[in-house]
Amino acid sequence: QSLENLLCALVYPLRNALSYKHAVELASRDPLTGVQNRMALSSALTREVDLAHRQELPLSLLVIDIDHFKRFNDEHGHTFGDDVLVAVSQTIANTIRRSDLLFRFGGEEFVVLASHTGEQGAMLLAERIRENIAALQTVRGRDVRITVSVGAARLQDADGPDQLFKRADKALYAAKDAGRNRSQLA
């Protein structure tokens, strides 16, 4: 009887802890693409910037935006637009290293945090992502032409998380202004 009571006393808190862990994981994932979401980006960016500054290691951030995304929704419907988002997120996930972190920032924007990566590595990664997405021929059996614009920024000594993101975002808009389907370094 006392062994059974002891087991019950251990099982219920363990089950509650596992349920809580599962809820936290669900809250930090984008339900459509399965990649981490904007909420997860906020804490990861702060952590990675602090770590990079402390260890004096390079860190780069890429902001990726699907060019003319609205066209997919308008021409083929929102379900197909969702399929495009999933295909793009999978392509990015298959392109980055396991140590890199991928997030859906919102809408048709994705963010990659690339640790141990300087300007040259960030631009190589940005171009590889851009080329792999441009190489997509079909999504759900439909012929597509998907391009992305990418802004990249390397962490500077004075940067906090917000400054790093703003510089990459500004580079993204420079890439869009220069004609889209390109990568731009901050």
CB 172 within 8 A of CB 150: yes
Angle at 21 between CA 19 and CA 22, to 5 degrees: 65
Known active-site residue 4: no
**81 near 69, Cβ under 8 Å?**
yes
The catalytically annotated residue of 25, 48, 75, 108 is 108
Helix (H) or strand (E) holding 10: helix 2-27
Angle at 82 between CA 172 and CA 98, to 5 degrees: 60
| Torsion region of 67: left, alpha or beta (phi above 0 gives left; psi -120 to 50 gives alpha) | beta
How many C-beta atoms lie closer than 10 Å to residue 11's C-beta? Answer: 10
Identify which of 106, 129, 109 has the alpha carbon closest to the alpha carbon of residue 117. Answer: 129
143 CB burial (10 A radius; 0-12, 13-18, 19+): exposed
Active site residues: 108
